[in-house]
């Protein structure tokens, strides 16, 4: 009996609890006990050929699209799972995401990403057609093309209005796929040539006055039951990437019973449930306890990216996490990727790539590992620089530690780090003389506009009034309206 993998896309990573429940019921009938979520926010279900017909027959009856052992139509990725909880002060709201996704009424064969510029939770440039919300113009989007099977990137000099995204995506895909010699697996692919072929008269466009701006990569802690505004969100991560079907079925029913209308799957192979009411918090805790779902894994485990359906990569990740934990290595701001396949797409600032020293008549011998760093350690960059090559597996923990130390040295020495990442260096500077302090009335935590709150992706000089209503105290989860403005004298602050 041959093992098979059924792939189901949830555009934008948004899942209806009712639809997911129906899929899980069909999976139960096919004796599938576990499911996995993928890097492109899709669902993977492993079965055997004997049961596949039962399962796929149920999916067809439910009018649910699926693929088997291939991804001819990659899922559309979006940053919606982080909206409201990790992304604040943005015009890109739930309604805009829904409008864009609903307008794409075809199945793209190229990878499409739809992301907010002000976040680093969802990879922006792992697609071939990457739409990034403009920081300067509401309802306008930057477009960055990454030509298929290459690292060739081209940023268009026009901004596109929200309502034109679907039609432009269709036209770009048609041009690329109709001329594969020019635009696919060709390191000489030309963005200027591609856009010279486009017909743009019917679209709402305007000249981009500056290139796309993004925030420094800082992965938020994406699991656990967390307060935001007057509600909670729940993030669930599984170390082995496996989610019990029985658990997810009860989760879907609890969503329905507590009027939670969506489940989100993330690019970190985890799920997020938003909009949990205060009175329902105990029911969610009870569900986690019933299935012994562990929470609060170490951050140095959560920031790894491993290929989909790759047990070898997962085992290597667990091996490295063990050593990182033993030495208590800090990994904040780093994304570590593991790549065992030649053409796989991994989002990482530090990449561990497997290769073989000997290839003989289809036989691969003597595996070694290279460690590479993205340009400026920016995981959205694909320029690769080899840090260490030809490592045996036993050498990897120490080499990984060294490249992590190099990352922190780099951040300390760059202006980006000094301006955006090191608020503590400014504690006794004139910036603190501004009367822009807000204090939580519950636990007395201070929000300083001059410093911001980098752990929540809030940059320096962000006014308190600009924070969304979902903002809450990072210590006690007090709501925004529980903060009061105070003066430095109230803190008994004496400048040096």
Instruction: Judge if 397 and 438 occupy the same domain.
Output: no
Buried b (16+ CB within 10 A) or exposed e, 156-189: bebbbebebbbebbebbbebbeeeeebbbebeeb
- Asked if the structure places residue 456 within a domain, the reply is yes
- Helix boundaries (H) for 370-476: 396-413, 415-420
Lookup: tokens for 218: 């800082």
pLDDT of residue 441: 80
Q: Angle formed by the axes of helices 245-257 and 17-29, to 10°?
A: 150
Q: Which of 207, 233, 254 is the last residue of a domain?
A: 207
In angstroms, the CA 133 to CA 116 distance is 5
CATH number at 275 reads: 3.90.480.10
Instruction: Judge if 405 and 483 occupy the same domain.
Output: no
- Asked if the structure places residue 23 within a domain, the reply is no
CA quadruple 298, 400, 411, 129: dihedral, nearest 10? -80
Instruction: Judge if 270 and 336 occupy the same domain.
Output: no
Confidence of residue 432 (pLDDT cuts 50, 70, 90): very low
Q: What is the DSSP letter of 216?
A: P
Instruction: Judge if 258 and 291 occupy the same domain.
Output: yes
Each residue of 144-163: pLDDT tens digit? 999 999 989 999 999 999 99
Each residue of 46-55: pLDDT tens digit? 998 888 999 9
In angstroms, the CA 472 to CA 228 distance is 6
Nearest to 98 by CA among 269, 268, 264, 273: 264
Is pTM, for the whole model, over 0.75? yes
- Asked if the structure places residue 272 within a domain, the reply is yes
- Asked if the structure places residue 52 within a domain, the reply is no
Instruction: Judge if 430 and 387 occupy the same domain.
Output: no
**C-alpha to C-alpha distances, 156 to 131, 147, 150, 381, 431, nearest whole angstrom:** 11, 13, 17, 17, 38
Confidence of residue 266 (pLDDT cuts 50, 70, 90): very high
Instruction: Judge if 307 and 247 occupy the same domain.
Output: no
Q: Please compute the mean of the pLDDT values over residues 85-98 and round it to a whole number.
A: 92
Within 10 Å of residue 2's Cβ, how many Cβ atoms? 9
Weakest-pLDDT range from 57-66, 241-250, 360-369, 423-432: 423-432
In angstroms, the CA 462 to CA 472 distance is 15
In angstroms, the CA 486 to CA 492 distance is 11
Under 8 Å CB-to-CB from 203, ≥6 apart: which residues? 160, 161, 164, 167, 168
Question: DSSP assignment of 8-25, as one string?
Answer: EE-GGGEE-HHHHHHHHH
- Asked if the structure places residue 24 within a domain, the reply is no
Under 8 Å CB-to-CB from 490, ≥6 apart: which residues? none
Instruction: Judge if 122 and 228 occupy the same domain.
Output: no
Domain of 188?
A: 87-207
Q: Please compute the mean of the pLDDT values over residues 188-207 and round it to a whole number.
A: 95
CATH number at 482 reads: 2.20.28.10
In angstroms, the CA 317 to CA 302 distance is 10
In angstroms, the CA 434 to CA 426 distance is 13
Q: Please compute the mean of the pLDDT values over residues 285-311 and round it to a whole number.
A: 94
- Asked if the structure places residue 27 within a domain, the reply is no
Within 10 Å of residue 192's Cβ, how many Cβ atoms? 9
Q: Which of 383, 413, 443 is the last residue of a domain?
A: 413
Residue 77 has pLDDT above 60, yes or no: yes
Q: What is the largest CA-CA distance in the chain?
A: 77
- Asked if the structure places residue 16 within a domain, the reply is no
Instruction: Judge if 100 and 121 occupy the same domain.
Output: yes
Instruction: Judge if 197 and 93 occupy the same domain.
Output: yes
Q: Which residue has the tokens 């045996």?
A: 392
The structural domain count of the chain equals 4
Instruction: Judge if 279 and 310 occupy the same domain.
Output: no
Which element (helix H / strand E) includes 274? strand 271-277
Can you say whether the dihedral through the CA atoms of 412, 413, 418, 424 is positive or negative? positive
- Asked if the structure places residue 58 within a domain, the reply is no
Instruction: Judge if 244 and 324 occupy the same domain.
Output: no
Q: Which of 358, 391, 413 is the last residue of a domain?
A: 413
Instruction: Judge if 286 and 305 occupy the same domain.
Output: no
């Amino acid at each position: 009996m041959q093992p098979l993998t059924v792939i189901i896309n949830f555009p934008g990573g948004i899942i209806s609890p009712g639809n997911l429940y129906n899929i899980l019921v069909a999976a139960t009938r096919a004796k599938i006990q576990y499911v996995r979520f993928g890097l492109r926010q899709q669902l993977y279900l492993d079965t055997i050929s004997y049961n596949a017909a039962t399962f796929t027959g149920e999916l067809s009856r439910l009018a649910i699209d699926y693929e088997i052992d291939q991804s001819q139509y990659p899922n559309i990725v979006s940053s919606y799972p982080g909206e409201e909880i990790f992304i604040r002060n943005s015009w890109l709201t739930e309604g805009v995401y829904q409008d864009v996704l609903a307008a794409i009424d075809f199945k793209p064969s190229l990878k499409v990403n739809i992301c907010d510029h002000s976040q680093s939770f969802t990879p922006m440039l792992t697609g071939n057609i990457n739409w990034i919300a403009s920081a300067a113009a509401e309802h306008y989007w930057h477009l960055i093309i990454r030509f298929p099977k290459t690292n060739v990137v081209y940023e268009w000099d026009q901004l596109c209005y929200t309502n034109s995204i679907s039609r432009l995506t269709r036209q770009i895909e048609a041009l690329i796929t109709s001329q594969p010699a020019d635009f696919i697996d060709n390191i000489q692919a030309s963005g200027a040539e591609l856009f010279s072929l486009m017909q743009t008269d019917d679209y709402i466009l305007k000249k981009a006055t500056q290139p796309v701006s993004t925030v420094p990569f800082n992965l938020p802690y994406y699991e656990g039951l967390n307060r935001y505004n007057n509600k909670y969100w729940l993030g669930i991560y599984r170390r082995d990437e496996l989610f019990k079907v029985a658990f997810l079925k009860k989760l879907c029913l609890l969503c329905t019973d507590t009027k939670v209308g969506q489940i989100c799957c993330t690019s970190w192979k985890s799920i997020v449930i938003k909009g949990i009411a205060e009175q329902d918090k105990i029911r969610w805790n009870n569900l986690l306890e019933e299935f012994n779902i562990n929470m609060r894994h170490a951050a140095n485990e959560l920031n790894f990216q491993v290929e989909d359906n790759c047990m070898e990569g997962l085992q290597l990740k667990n091996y490295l996490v063990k050593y990182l934990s033993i030495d208590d290595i800090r990994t904040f701001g780093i994304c570590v990727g593991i790549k065992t396949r030649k053409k796989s797409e991994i989002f990482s600032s530090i990449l561990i790539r497997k290769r073989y020293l000997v290839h003989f008549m289809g036989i691969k011998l003597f595996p070694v590992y290279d460690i590479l760093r993205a340009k400026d350690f920016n995981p959205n960059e694909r320029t690769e620089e080899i840090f260490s090559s030809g490592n045996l597996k036993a050498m990897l923990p120490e080499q990984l530690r060294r490249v992590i130390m190099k990352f922190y040295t780099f951040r300390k020495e760059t202006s980006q780090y000094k301006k955006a990442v090191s608020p503590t260096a400014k504690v006794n500077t004139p910036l603190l003389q501004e009367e822009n302090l807000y204090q939580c009335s519950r636990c007395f935590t201070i929000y300083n506009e001059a410093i911001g709150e980098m752990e929540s992706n809030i940059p320096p000089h962000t006014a308190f009034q600009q924070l969304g209503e979902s903002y809450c105290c990072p210590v006690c989860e007090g709501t925004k309206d529980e903060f009061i403005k105070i003066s430095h004298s109230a803190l008994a602050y004496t400048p040096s």
